[in-house]
Amino acid sequence: MSSCYEINEEIARSHQTVDNDPIQYDEYPEVDVEMYANDVGTWSVKVTCTTNPNLSFPMQKFPDEYSANHYARSCADQIIRKTMNENKKFHSKYSIVHALYEGTIRE
């Protein structure tokens, strides 16, 4: 009996999803990024949280596109992390398992 088998497999490819590219920071549904070049050669960026305006960042001006993009990415990252944590807290606080654990649901 031969112990040599041919293995034909491809690693790290999903055939079930049509678009398996990562979501970019400006494509996140709760983040609105406004970035544009000004007529004096600077760049302006405003990052808004659509679900919680308290998490939004005011407009800032930058000397180049790289700095503006870095600011937008870091602001969006902060909003994404805070909203993800809020969603986790909400779901864990009001989940059925939590309610059973706390004894608020009777069997």
The string of DSSP codes covering 29-90 is TTEEEEEEE-TTS-EEEEEEESS-GGG-EEEEEESSHHHHHHHHHHHHHHHHHHHHHHHHHH
Domain count, the chain: 1
The residue segments making up the domain with residue 55 are 25-102
Q: Is residue 38 part of a domain?
A: yes
Q: Is residue 80 part of a domain?
A: yes
Which whole number is the average pLDDT over 70-74? 94
Q: Is residue 11 part of a domain?
A: no
Q: Is residue 69 part of a domain?
A: yes
Q: Please state the pTM of the whole predicted model.
A: 0.61
Q: Is residue 20 part of a domain?
A: no
Q: Is residue 18 part of a domain?
A: no
Q: Is residue 39 part of a domain?
A: yes
84 confidence band (pLDDT: 50, 70, 90)? confident
| Burial (CB count within 10 angstroms: exposed 0-12, middle 13-18, buried 19+), residue 2 | exposed
Which whole number is the average pLDDT over 62-82? 93
Span 17-54, pLDDT tens digits: 565 666 777 778 889 999 999 999 999 999 999 988 99
Q: Is residue 78 part of a domain?
A: yes
pLDDT of residue 91: 53
